[in-house]
Structure 1
Amino acid sequence: MKNLLILITLFLLVFVSCDNQKSKNSFKEGEISINLGGEPRTLDPTLNSLSFGSIYMIHFFEGLTKRDIKDNVVPGMAESWDISKDGLKYTFHLRTNAKWSDGKSVIASDFEYALKRAANPKTAATYSHMLNVIKNARLIISGKAEVETLQVKALDDYTLEIILENPTPYFLEYISVSSPYFPVRKDIIETYGDNWSRNPETYIVNGPYIMTERKQDEKIVMEVNSNYYDKDYIVAEKINILIMDDSNTALAAMKNGDLQFSVIEAPMGEIPSLMKENYILQEPAYGIYFLEINSQKGVLTNKNIRKALSLAFDRNYIISNVTKMNQIPAGAFVSPNLKDYDGKDFRANGGNYIDIDNYQNNVKEAKKLMADAGYPNGENFPVLEIRTTHGYFTLICEATQDMYRSNLGIDILIKSEEYNATYQAMIQKDYDLARTGWTADFSDPMAMLNFFSKTSAVNHTGFESEEFNNLLEFASKTQNQKERMEALHKAEDILFDYMPVIPIIYRMDPFMISPKLKGAIFNPLGRYKFNYAYIEK
């Protein structure tokens, strides 16, 4: 009896010890924690305009098409579709077993409502230009036609017809990740207004996950949508999205086992050691980081000053001495790895607009441009301000500050803040220079150049060019691929003659990732998918 009591006591001690060990990061099977930056500006797919915001969207919603585990475009809410011989009419046949999270069927009119809502100027959807491929969308967005003329029509509950302005070979890829193409419920939005996407109780979705908890500036919790038709293939049953925008905080959480992935760039000083420990993910993206210039403000209205600022920016120094990573300096806007008409790289064919390997010559030219503009050696030049996010990009801006002071004799102030504050300042044109970025929504050079189109709501530089817009419009219509790409090259030429931006580096972010996180999908469009992610034991 005494021996039995001793064995029971030992068993209880071991059990309690194991339980205490487990509670440090008490993840259940099928549960992961990730970070997508600070508090999301919106969870409404129609209003989303950020690439990291799009990660939320593809987990909460699903479009007519989607991407599979190998990142191929496959049927989503539409189980099949027909395309007319002229490539203009798409007839989508929806799944009859597709449900909203409240159990109601997903029907064609949900898509019709969502697309017309996105096109409506009253909605002020930042990404409304993504609808430009649909017939009449441009006219509606610019206020020259009624919303009801948008060529999207629910033929019946499970058949949706979309007519395009011109044949668009990338359309099925485009709608797999572009959140304005995701369905939303008219009855929910009309009942709850702007608040519909802020609370788990009213956030009715059709994707693989539902929102089960939301604490402002703390976390958003996703769990598998029991009404999702493909739920049996989901691995990550629960995804905790921890709200944070400080790299050191994110790193500490990851080292402690409380976080498996973060879009926050790793602390600069920690990157070499983190790379050795496999805590760094560097995935090339169809994207770019740059300084946006307010070309309608003060001295920055002078094109030569804008060019001088770009020439005096040493991209190779940034990579060698600040980021210290395997990145590509940006001498243009369209990123590498997007194809030209001949199958070669569009960027390689087009070359750079800034000779990034002859910095001293660039500085000489920049000094001459400044002198010609009336500011020799920076004399009487006003102090400019760069707005940027904290951490990684603040260090880049500090290096920029030194470059401009030592080479041009001008002073730059740095304002570090959350990105939402920078974005609002850009909208209001309350900035001189602002660090921002752009990621393509589909694998085509036009997806990069669309940032500057006349219907773009994200271009706050003041750049406007009728010739540029005509070239983009021609490229969207022609079926001659050589002429199409030539038009896009010419459009980029016009862009860099005006110089509304200072390219920094092409996107290859030093994201932090736990070596134990497996199964996540990272694609060059920046739409990272965690449906199949798990923590390796």
Structure 2
Amino acid sequence: MLKRTTLLPLILAAALTGCGNDSPENSVDYTPEGTKSYGGVYVSASIGEPSNLIPWLAGDAASSEVTAHIYNSLIKYDKNLEFEADLAQSWDVSEDGLTLTFHLQPDAKWSDGTPFTAHDVMATYKTITDPNTRTPYAQKYTIVKEAKVLDDHAFRVTYAEPFAPALASWAQLAILPKHKLDEAEDINTAELVQTPLGTGPYKLQKWKRGQEIQLIANPDSFEGRPNITLLRNRLITDLDAQFLALRKGEIDNMGLKPIQYERLTNKDSFTDRFAKYRYMGRLYVYMGFNLKHDLFKDKHVRQALSFATPRETIINGILMGHGVASFGPFVPETWAENPNLKPYPQDFAKAKELLADAGWKDTDGDGILDKDGKPFQFTVVTNQGNDQRIKTAEIMQQAFKKVGVDMKIRVQEWATFIENPIHKRDFDAVMLGWSLPVEPDPYDVWHSSKTGPREFNFVGYNNPRVDELITKARQTFDQAERQKYLWEFQEILHDEQPYLFLFSPNSLVAIHRRVKGVEPAPAGIGYNFEDWYIPESQRLYNADMIVQ
């Protein structure tokens, strides 16, 4: 499901290969723009089911893809990644940058008809900062010195010291209804987890667990009624099956694997029905080490594995050139990325030298290094349905074997993967991806205070200088000074290699041509989803055929 721009760091899934016959509907002419009108059904697919429909309790893409259509924040990003109004129709920033005053939309309502007010914002703020709320995002809001309701339509926050990502943090926070929060004894198990109530353009119609989620247009949205009446997000965990469904016209979009984009989607039978889009994604894929594991406590071992990693082979082979090698946690070629650093080149000799210096030798001649009688053997875990990551792991497995390291690969269903290896820290290494927010703020993933349960520093990284640099970067509004701190932070990561940063892939998307109003922009695709429409003459089915 394509969604409006979201800013939380999310674990992402890639769209992968498949095959199948074209649908009989390929004889329809989808070139006319038609007349914009309300109605129609848009169908997407996900490889994972949402874990939680309270956005800031979840940390996965499947949840975000749904909740982005249901909830609003105080402000949001426009197509050019500049702030614009959302639940706040305007805002003021004090001269010293420490106070933000939000002037709220007077006509916004919750989808049950209850008026939206500043008391909802305050209730959301109090809930996310409650120590009993299991969220990885709280720290952005606990640093607020004072939050105050000025009147029903004005909300003010004051910080004790500069906080550069302040405005961005309020673009990240989905606002929840006070009257529902008041009813909840425990937000972690509240009704909103399963039955969201928002101010956004869509509201939950039905959740058929293990099958699909349906969202129906909110006719009373303060943003205006969206054109497409019903969104269906189908659970199709096998991406071969997703591609087959796309070819049959059973879903309207998916992310394409590079080989599909290059070789399987160029015939007229496909391009007559689907438009293809390519743009730089705001994410990176990595292998993260459990730094409490004895194997990975020595940075020279991690450096050795980075030298053994064939990044260019992965990019040219698996990505077919649709991506770049990554070396840090920022969007490539942006002001925060340190241009003086480069990805580790593949160098087997250097990898072997570092491993030998760390005491790893093949004493029994079996081709696997050992130390103190134990072989260098570990398992990397990744998620089912993500062929791109699985194939990357397979290439790395063969490369590591050449330097005497035995890496096993385990693939798990998405929910199990998130709950056990990630939340329970039960892993040697994981292969995952992070989406990247517009505002560079590595605190949640890299600060040593964020290693607790369900927080994002699940590899257990701890470096006092990194903590200091991340904090200093947050505490200045001067971009040049922030850049200095963030560049040094990247230099430390580059040396210590707590992650093997692998690549930042391009987004390769196919969308059915019957869907009109798609306008690619720096924000990507989907930022203006509510303006998309399906001309009546090109609809495959209408909402009243689906909703029961």
TM range (shorter): 0.7 to 0.9
Taking structure 1 as reference, are residues 217 and 521 closer, same or farther at Cα in structure 2, changes over 3 Å only?
Answer: farther
1:86 alignment counterpart? 96
Q: Any idea what SS the aligned residue of 2:503 has?
A: strand
Structure 1 residue 401: Cα displacement: 0.9
Q: Retained in 1: the 8 A contact 2:214–2:232?
A: yes
Structure 1 residue 168: Cα displacement: 4.9
Tell me the TM-score normalized by structure 1: 0.82
CA deviations on 1:300-351 (whole Å, 9 max, x unpaired) are: 12221111111101110011222324210113332313225xxxxx343x32
Structure 1 residue 455: Cα displacement: 4.1
CA deviations on 1:366-389 (whole Å, 9 max, x unpaired) are: 111111222235322332111112
- Would you tell me which structure has more helix in proportion to its own residues? 1
Task: Report 1:221-370 matches (<5 A).
Answer: 221-232=214-225, 234-263=226-255, 266=257, 270-276=260-266, 277=270, 280-340=276-336, 346-348=337-339, 350-352=340-342, 354-356=343-345, 359=346, 362-370=347-355
1:12 alignment counterpart? none
Q: Retained in 2: the 8 A contact 1:48–1:127?
A: no
Instruction: Answer yes or no: is 1:160 the counterpart of 2:150.
Output: no
Which ranges of structure 1 fall in alignment gaps of 5 or more residues?
Answer: 1-17, 23-27, 137-150, 341-345
Q: Retained in 1: the 8 A contact 2:291–2:459?
A: yes
1:76 alignment counterpart? 86
Counterpart CA distance in 1 for 2:354 and 2:76 is 49
Tell me the TM-score normalized by structure 2: 0.80
Q: Which amino acid aligns with 2:181?
A: I
Which residue of 170, 180, 183 corresponds with 1:188?
180
Q: Retained in 1: the 8 A contact 2:380–2:407?
A: yes
Structure 1 residue 75: Cα displacement: 1.2
Structure of higher CA gyration radius: 1
Which residue of 110, 116, 125 corresponds with 1:100?
110
Q: Any idea what SS the aligned residue of 1:491 has?
A: helix
Number of residue pairs the alignment of both structures matches: 478
2:423 alignment counterpart? 427
Q: Retained in 1: the 8 A contact 2:279–2:524?
A: no
Which residue of 109, 118, 124 corresponds with 2:119?
109
2:144 alignment counterpart? 135
Taking structure 1 as reference, are residues 121 and 496 closer, same or farther at Cα in structure 2, changes over 3 Å only?
Answer: farther
2:507 alignment counterpart? 509
Counterpart CA distance in 2 for 1:454 and 1:112 is 29
1:144 alignment counterpart? none
Taking structure 1 as reference, are residues 517 and 351 closer, same or farther at Cα in structure 2, changes over 3 Å only?
Answer: farther
Structure 1 residue 520: Cα displacement: 4.2
Q: Retained in 2: the 8 A contact 1:331–1:355?
A: yes
Q: Retained in 2: the 8 A contact 1:440–1:525?
A: no
Q: Which amino acid aligns with 2:517?
A: G
2:475 alignment counterpart? 477
Q: Any idea what SS the aligned residue of 1:79 has?
A: strand
Q: Any idea what SS the aligned residue of 2:448 has?
A: coil
Instruction: Answer yes or no: is 1:413 the counterpart of 2:411.
Output: no
Instruction: Answer yes or no: is 1:491 the counterpart of 2:489.
Output: yes
Q: Retained in 2: the 8 A contact 1:338–1:443?
A: no
Structure 1 residue 502: Cα displacement: 0.5
Q: Retained in 1: the 8 A contact 2:92–2:100?
A: yes
Q: Retained in 2: the 8 A contact 1:441–1:525?
A: no
Q: Retained in 2: the 8 A contact 1:330–1:506?
A: yes
Structure 1 residue 100: Cα displacement: 0.3
2:360 alignment counterpart? 375
Q: Retained in 2: the 8 A contact 1:55–1:527?
A: no
Counterpart CA distance in 2 for 1:258 and 1:195 is 34
Which residue of 423, 435, 440 corresponds with 2:436?
440
Taking structure 1 as reference, are residues 527 and 460 closer, same or farther at Cα in structure 2, changes over 3 Å only?
Answer: farther
Q: Which amino acid aligns with 1:470?
A: E
Which residue of 159, 170, 175 corresponds with 2:170?
175
Structure 1 residue 188: Cα displacement: 1.6
Taking structure 1 as reference, are residues 418 and 304 closer, same or farther at Cα in structure 2, changes over 3 Å only?
Answer: same
Taking structure 1 as reference, are residues 248 and 257 closer, same or farther at Cα in structure 2, changes over 3 Å only?
Answer: same
Q: Which amino acid aligns with 2:197?
A: I
CA deviations on 1:472-495 (whole Å, 9 max, x unpaired) are: 111111243322211111111122
Taking structure 1 as reference, are residues 243 and 301 closer, same or farther at Cα in structure 2, changes over 3 Å only?
Answer: same
Structure 1 residue 52: Cα displacement: 4.8
Counterpart CA distance in 2 for 1:104 and 1:527 is 32
Q: Which shifted more, 450-459 or 212-221?
A: 450-459
Structure 1 residue 450: Cα displacement: 4.5
RMSD: 2.8
Structure 1 residue 298: Cα displacement: 2.4
Task: Report 1:29-68 matches (<5 A).
Answer: 29-68=39-78
Q: Retained in 2: the 8 A contact 1:39–1:244?
A: no
Taking structure 1 as reference, are residues 333 and 159 closer, same or farther at Cα in structure 2, changes over 3 Å only?
Answer: closer
Q: Retained in 2: the 8 A contact 1:336–1:347?
A: no
1:219 alignment counterpart? 212
Counterpart CA distance in 2 for 1:525 and 1:52 is 19
Structure 1 residue 208: Cα displacement: 1.0
Q: Retained in 2: the 8 A contact 1:174–1:442?
A: no
Counterpart CA distance in 2 for 1:61 and 1:73 is 17
Identity over aligned pairs, percent: 22
Q: Any idea what SS the aligned residue of 2:380 has?
A: strand
Q: Retained in 2: the 8 A contact 1:313–1:404?
A: yes
CA deviations on 1:411-463 (whole Å, 9 max, x unpaired) are: 2111112233223212222111101111222243xx34642123432111111
Q: Which amino acid aligns with 1:322?
A: I
Q: Retained in 2: the 8 A contact 1:129–1:455?
A: no
Q: Retained in 1: the 8 A contact 2:319–2:505?
A: no
Which residue of 107, 114, 126 corresponds with 2:136?
126
